[in-house]
Structure 1
Amino acid sequence: MITRRSATGLLGLGLAGIATSRARAAPASPVVATRHGPVIGTRDGPTQVFRGIRYGADTAPRRFQPPRRPEPWTTPVEALAYGPACPQNSPEPDQSEDCLFLNVWTPGVDDAARPVMVYVHGGAYATGSGSDPLYDGTRLSRRGDVVVVTLNHRLNLFGHAFLKRLDGTFAASGNAGLLDLILALEWVRDNIAAFGGDPGRVMVFGQSGGGAKIASLMATPAAAGLFHAVATMSGQQVTASGPNNATTRTRAWLAELGLAGDRVAELATTDPARLLQAARITDPVLGYGSLYFGPVVDDLTLTRHPFYPDAPAQSAAIPMIIGNTREETLAFLGPRVAPVDLTWNDLPGRMTPDVLRVDVDPETVIAAYRAMHPDWSPYQVLIRATTAGRSWRAAVIEAEARATAGHPTWVYQLDLAGTLEDGRTGAFHTADIPLVFGTLDTPGSRMMGPDARSVSDRMSDAFIALARTGSPGAVAGQVWPRFDLADRPTMIFDRQTRVEADPRGDERRFFARYPYVQPGT
C-alpha cells in the first residue's frame, strides 16, 4: 500500500505515474497534483475528501524552529486518514511532532473557484487538532458549495516556548505555532485552486483558541494577504505575552527540568513526554493553572499586540464576524455543588481569580449583579458574571476597536441552549461549533432538536455568505447591521433569531470599569 511517509521524496513517476496510480485506485477516488506532489482522496457521497495532506516537513528535527515546506514527492500519496496531532497534555489520539497536516472537503476538483473556509481548531494554544468529528466539513461544504479546510499545527511548548532571550538560536520559538498556520495558509494560496477553491476568497474561522490564533494572525505581518474574511467564535486575543513574562515561564520550566539557563539547547533533543510533564507546574505569572504558552510579542514574527492599543491596520479591510455564547463559562465551571444548592454566602468563594480573571472584589460583583438582576439565583450570577468578565470582555474590546476604526464588523451572541452531559443547560462555550458546521448528529455536539437545526442553518448560511461575498447578508429575513458604538447591533441566534441593540449592556458597562489584560499575557 502506498502510504504518506513511504511516498515522500520518491521521484520519477511524473504524470504517467499519476495516471497509473489513478487506475489502481478505486474508480471514484479523486487525485490532485499539489505543488509538493500528487494526493489521492476519497468520496463521501458527492463530496470529495482528502485527509492528512502534508503541508510541512516533520518538525521534530527542527524543534522550536520555523517550519519548512515538505520535500516534494511524485508517487501519489493516499490522503485517507487524519494526520497526527501535536504532542500535548490531553487524551488526543495519535500525537507526534510530525504534525503539519491538513484536510480538505470539496464538492469537486474542478475549476469552479469556490469560496474557501479554513477552520483553526480551539483548545487554547495547548491542545486539540483539526480532526475532531465536530469539525467534519462534509455538511458545510455541501450546503454552501464551498471548500472546507481543517489543519493541525504546533501547540503549547512546541509552538510557543519563548527561548529567544536565553538562546538566540531559537529566535522564532515563541511564535512557531503561528508560523505553522501561516505555512498552512500559504499552502491554501498555492494549491486550493486544484481542489476547486478560489485562493482570492479565503475565510478563516475558529472557535475559542482558534479565534484567538486568528486575532493574532490579523496583526502578524507575514500573514498579510493570506485570508480575506474572518470569523471568531468565543475566541479573542487582545494582548499577547510580553517577552519578560514569557522568559519567566521558560526559566520556571527549565528549573523543573533540572536545566540551567545555559543548557537551553538540550531542550531540542529532550524526550517530548518529559517536556510536557514539566510544563504542568503552576504558572509563575498567573499563580494558577499550568504553564501558559501562547503568542509572544517578539519583535520578529509578532511586532505588536493583536488588539492593543487599537485594531491592527493590517487587517482593516478584512470583514470580520465576532461571536460569543451567553453562558460561556457553564462549560468550564462544573457544579461542584448542585446549582440549586449554591448560596449567596458560598458564591464569593466560587469567584476565585482563576475563575473571574478580573482583579475585582467578588462581593462588589455580586452586589452589582443582584442590583441589576434581582431575580437571578446565585448560580446564574456565577455563570453570567464570569462569562462577562472572563470570556466576553475581549470580544467587546475587539468589536469596539474595529468599530472605532471603521473596520467592517458584525457581532453575534448565541442564546440557544444546549444540554451538557451533567444535565445543565445554557448557551455554553463550544455550543456554536456544531451549529456552524452542521454536525448536530455528531456525538459530543449536545445541540439537538428542530430549533438547533434551524439555528444551525442560519449560522452556517451567514458564515458561508461572509466567505462568498464579504458580508453575512440577511439572517432569517433580517438585515444584520454592521457593529457600531451608537447602537451596538448584535444578531441573537436563538429560537427567534433577531437583532438586539447592546444586549447585556448593563453587564458590559459594569466590567468596563476594570482594566482588562488577556489572561496569560
Structure 2
Amino acid sequence: MTPLNRRAFLAQVSLTTAALSVPQFGFSSAGRPPEFTETEIIHGRIRGTRQDGVNIFKGIPYGGRISGDRRFRRPAPLEPWTGVRDTLQVGPPAIQAPRRNEPAPAEDCLFLNVWTPANDNRQRPVMFYSHGGGFVIGSGASASQDGSNLARNFDVVVVQTNHRLGLLGFLYLDELAGSDYAGSGNMGMLDIVDGLKWVHDNIARFGGDPANVMIFGESGGGAKTSCLYTMPSAAPYFNKASIESGPGVRMTPKEVAAETTAMLLNKLNIAPKDWRKLLEVPAADLLTIQAKLPSVAPFVAKNNKKPLMDRRAGGFAPVVDGVVLPHHPFDPAAPALSRNKPLLVGWNEDEYTFFAWERKDTEFAKLDFEGLQKRLDPQYGEDTPKIIAAYRNANPNASAPEIFVAVSSITMMGLGSVDIAEKKVKQNGAPVYLYNFGYKSEKKIPGTDYPMGTPHAMDISFKFNNEIPPRDGSAPKESFFGGNRPERFAASHNFAELWTTFAKTGKPAARNAPAWPAYNLKTRPTMRISEQCEVITNRFSEELLMWRSIGRL
C-alpha cells in the first residue's frame, strides 16, 4: 500500500462515508415539545423549529428540478408555493449510497439548511459551508457539522447546501450537447453558486447580512471553496473564505474531462451522437457505472516530481472549461478575482491517521526505519532517502511510524495549503492566514496502539463547536474522533471563535489565543490550534526546504 498524498486525497475522501455519518450530537432538549417559527422568503412562507435559542430551517428548496430533461443542465425555475411550507426535515442528498439518518438520495436534491439565533434584522455574519466527501458523496446534513452551536454561542447565521455530485454534477458535455448544456462539467459548483445567490436574496429574513458572507469547507468542501474563490458567478456573493484540509490548487482540464465522457459513453454502449440516451438512464444505473470508472480523478505529475500537474480521465470533479471555471484555482497564481477577499487556509497535523482508520491500515504502525524506506519508495523513488533524512533531522525523537504519518499528512494536505498561502501573499492584496489544527485525540486506530492524534475530518466537529458538554448536564459522551479528554472542549471553543471572528471581521481572533499575524514570506507565521493556541514562525522550515529542493512544492 503506497502512502496517500494530496494528488489522490479527493479519490480517497470520496470513499469515506463513515466519517460523514458520525453519531448524532445531543443538540435538542430531550422531552420538550418543539416550538415552531415562521418566516417569509421570496418563494413563499416556511415553518421551522426553535430549539434552545436557535431557529432551524431544514430542507428549504433553493433550486428547481434537475431531473428528466433538466439532467446535466441548469435547474428549472423554482415555483412559488402557497400556504406555509414545512422546513422541518433535511432534504434528500445528491445521488450516492444511502446515508444514515437522512432521506434516500435523489436526483432532485437542491435543498439547504439554515441555523440562526433569530429571524430579526440584526445583520449577523453568514457562514456558508460546503460539505466534504470529495465531489461524489456527502450532504449538508452531516451531524458533525450541525450549525446550532455556532449560531447559539457566537451569534452567526450558518447555511449548508445539498448539491449535485459525481457524474450528475460534473459530466462534461459541452462539446457534444450544445448551448443548453454549457457549463455541464460544473453543474455541482453552479448549484452552490445558486445557494449563495439564495443567501443574497433571502438571508436578511433570517437575521443575516447578505453583504458579509464567508464561504468555507473541509476536504472536498475545501476544494469546492477553492473553486468558488475563482468563479466569476460566485464573486458577488461572498467576502471571505476558508480552505480547510482541501487545497484545490488545480482542477480537471476540459481535455481530460472529455476523455472521461468518452469512457462513460463507451461503458454504456452509447455512441457520442446518441448522447441524449444519457437522459434516459436511471440515476441508480449511472451511480453503478460511476463506481466502475477510475475513482475521483487524482492529480498526476507529468514528470513524477512536480505535484498537481494533471488529472487522469475517469473521475468527476470541477472542469476548467474557461467560462464557469476560467482557470485553475491557484495555478499559476492566486485568482485576481478574489484579490481583496481575506483567506484562511490550513490542515490537520495527522491527516493520514483518518485514512489508516478508513482503510484498516495497521501495518504503518509496525514500521521500523528500514520498513519506512520500503513504504515510501513506491511514491518517492530516489527522493526517499532525502525525505527520511530531513524528517529525522528535524524530528530526532520521532519513530518511523510518526515520520510516515508526518510525511503522508503534509503531502496530502499541507504542501497545497502552503502553496496557496504563498501565492495569496504574492498578490499583495487581502491577507491570508495559515493554520495547523493540532489537538491530539487519545483514541487508538483499531488494531494498533497508535493514537488518532489530529486526523483528517476531526476538525469539522471542533470548528462547529460541537465538542461541548451536553446542555442537560449529563456526562459527556466520547467524541467520534476526538476522544474523551475534557481539553477538547477548550480546543473546540478556540477553533469556533477564531472562525466566527474571521466571519465577522475578516481577521481571525479569540480571547484565549495570541494575536494571529497574516502570513508572510519572511517569518511565515502559522497558528497552531488546540486547547492552547500558539503562533509558530517558520514552522516545518526544514521539511519545506527539502520538499522545494526535490520539486514537490
TM range, smaller chain: 0.7 to 0.9
Q: TM-score scaled by structure 2?
A: 0.83
The partner residue of 2:111 within 98, 101, 104 is 101
- Assess if the C-alpha contact under 8 Å between 2:513 and 2:534 holds in 1: no
Which string of whole-angstrom CA distances, capped at 9 and with x for unpartnered residues, describes residues 70-117 of structure 1?
111122100000000001246464200111000111111111111111
Cα distance change of structure 1 residues 97 and 27 upon mapping to structure 2, 3 Å threshold: closer
| Letter paired with 1:377 | S
Give a deviation string over 1:198-236, Cα, whole Å, max 9, x none.
111111111111111011011101111201111121112
Partner of 2:7: none
Instruction: Name the structure 1 match of 2:71.
Output: 63
**Does 2:431 match 1:408?**
yes
Deviation at 1:45, TM superposition (A): 1.7
Question: Which residue of structure 2 aligns with residue 384 of structure 1?
Answer: 406
Task: Kindly indicate whether residue 441 of structure 2 is the aligned counterpart of residue 431 of structure 1.
Answer: no
- Match of 1:166, SS? helix
Partner Cα distance (2:364, 2:170) in 1 = 38
**Change beyond 3 A, Cα 1:340–1:160:** closer
Give the Å deviation of 1:349. Answer: 4.8
Q: Deviations over 1:24-55 (max 9, x none)?
A: xx994111111011110011121111000000
Deviates more, 1:434-443 or 1:180-189: 434-443
Structure 2: where are the runs of 5+ without partners? 1-32, 301-310, 469-476
**Shift of the alpha carbon at 1:141?**
0.3
Provide the C-alpha distance between the structure 2 equivalents of 1:505 and 1:347, rounded to a whole number of angstroms: 22
Q: 2:279 aligns with which of 248, 268, 280?
A: 268
> Is residue 41 of structure 1 aligned with residue 48 of structure 2?
yes
> For residues 92-171 of structure 1, what are the structure 2 equivalents within 5 Å?
93=102, 94-168=104-178, 169-171=180-182
Q: Which residue is equivalent to 1:173?
A: 184
Corresponding residue for residue 17 of structure 1: none
Report 1:210-221 matches (<5 A).
Answer: 210-221=221-232
* Aligned length in residues: 489
What's 2:346 paired with? 323
d(CA) in 2 for partners of 1:488, 1:73 = 53
Q: Mapping of 1:187-198 within 5 angstroms?
A: 187-198=198-209
Q: How far 1:363 sits from its partner (Å)?
A: 4.7
CA contact (8 A) 1:420 1:446 kept: no
User: Where in structure 2 are the equivalents of 1:235-250 lying within 5 Å?
Assistant: 235-250=246-261
Equivalent in the alignment of 1:452 = 488
1:308-387 correspondence runs (5 A): 308-334=331-357, 336-351=361-376, 361-387=383-409
Amino acid across the alignment from 2:227: S
Q: Distance in 2 between matches of 1:173 and 1:373?
A: 48
How many angstroms does 1:435 deviate by?
1.0
Q: Tell me, yes or no, if the aligned pair for 1:135 and 1:150 is still in contact at 8 Å.
A: no
Counterpart of 2:371, as a letter, is: D
Alignment partners' CA distance in 1, 2:346 and 2:189: 22
Which residue number in structure 2 is paired with residue 209 of structure 1?
Answer: 220
Q: How well do the aligned residues superpose, as a CA RMSD in angstroms?
A: 2.4
How big is the shift at 1:413?
0.5
SS in 1 for 2:356: coil
CA distance in 2, matches of 1:342, 1:174: 42
Letter in 1 for 2:322: D
C-alpha distance in structure 2 between counterparts of 1:364 and 1:456, whole Å: 37
Contact 1:388 1:507 in 2 (8 A): no
Please tell me whether the aligned partners of residues 474 and 480 of structure 1 are also in contact (alpha carbons under 8 angstroms).
no
Deviations 1:468-506 (A, max 9, x none): 111113552511101101011011112331100021122
Contact 2:248 2:329 in 1 (8 A): yes
For residues 501 and 362 of structure 1, the distance between their equivalents in structure 2, rounded to whole angstroms, comes to 27
SS in 2 for 1:165: helix
Letter in 1 for 2:266: A
Residue 489 of structure 1 contacts residue 500 of structure 1 at CA under 8 Å; is this kept in 2? yes
| 8 A contact 1:38–1:76 mirrored in 2 | yes
Mapped to 2, the partners of 1:378 and 1:213 lie a distance apart of 34
Indicate conservation of the 8 Å contact 1:389/1:511, yes or no: no
Matched to 2:276, the amino acid is A
Q: Is the 8 A contact 1:329 1:387 kept in 2?
A: yes
Deviation at 1:246, TM superposition (A): 1.2
Compared CA separation, residues 372 and 473, structure 1 to 2 (3 A): closer
Give the AA of the match of 1:83: G
| 1:67 and 1:176 in contact (8 A); partners too | no
- Counterpart CA distance in 1 for 2:176 and 2:34 is 55
Q: Output the CA distance in 1 between the equivalents of 2:480 and 2:382.
A: 35
C-alpha spacing 1:219/1:236, structure 2 compared with 1 (3 Å): same
State the partner residue of 1:8: none
**Percent identical residues:** 34
Match of 1:301 in 2: 324
The alpha-carbon deviation at position 444 of structure 1 amounts to 3.0
**Structure 1 residues 281, 427: CA separation in 2 closer, same or farther (over 3 Å shift)?**
same
1:388 touches 1:508 (CA, 8 Å); kept in 2? no
Following superposition, the deviation at residue 333 of structure 1 comes to: 2.6
**Within 1, Cα distance between the matches of 2:435 and 2:488?**
16
- For 2:481 and 2:45, how far apart are their aligned partners in 1? 35
Give 1:10's aligned residue. Answer: none
Higher relative contact order (CA 8 A, sep 6+): 2
Give the whole-Å Cα distance in 1 for the aligned partners of 2:536 and 2:389.
Answer: 26
1:481 aligns with 2:520: no
Q: Which amino acid aligns with 2:487?
A: D
Answer yes or no: is the 8 Å Cα contact 1:439–1:445 preserved in 2: no
The letter for the 2-side match of 1:221 is P
8 Å Cα contact 2:350-2:452 kept in structure 1: no
Q: Compute the displacement of 1:339 (Å).
A: 4.7
1:492-511 correspondence to structure 2 within 5 Å? 492-511=528-547
Match of 1:81 in 2: 89
Letter in 2 for 1:105: W
CA contact (8 A) 2:183 2:323 kept: yes
Structure 2: which amino acid aligns with 1:60? S
